[in-house]
Amino acid sequence: MRVRFVSVVSLAGVVAMLAVGLALAGNASTSGDRWPGLLDELRKHPWPWTGALAALSAVAACVAVWIEERVPAASDDPPPRRPRPCQAGSWTGSRRG
């Protein structure tokens, strides 16, 4: 259970970072002559980066859903018991008319 939680939280962090990169790529054509490091490539070529980061975000979201929907590894658990039907107690009256 803990590994699943950590993986979902980590993936959520990756999705957040991708969203920030996607926002920067979409907004890259606004201003500025030079950006630091890899961000300058993002500034020079905003549309390919926008497409790539959007695709990565979609893949990461699908992986998060897949992790969340997976059944925990408990295949040896017995099936749940069927409940016993309720029986009327002696305090209930008969409905004879």
Measured CA to CA, the distance from residue 27 to residue 44 in angstroms comes to 12
pLDDT for res 5: 75
Residues near 30 by beta carbon (within 8 Å), at least 6 away in sequence: none
* Residue 44: inside a domain: yes
Contact 11, 67 (CB under 8 A): yes
Assign 20 to helix, strand or coil: helix
Counting the structural domains of the chain, the total is 1
* Residue 23: inside a domain: yes
pLDDT in tens, 58-94: 888 888 778 777 766 566 777 778 887 777 666 666 6
Of 16-25, 33-42, 46-55, minimum mean pLDDT range? 33-42
* Residue 91: inside a domain: no
* Residue 87: inside a domain: no
Measured CA to CA, the distance from residue 32 to residue 20 in angstroms comes to 18
**Confidence grade of residue 22 (pLDDT, cut at 50, 70, 90):** confident
pTM (two decimals): 0.48
What percent of the chain clears pLDDT 70, i.e. is strictly above it? 74
* Residue 42: inside a domain: yes
Query: In which domain, by residue range, is 39 found?
Result: 2-69
Measured CA to CA, the distance from residue 81 to residue 94 in angstroms comes to 31
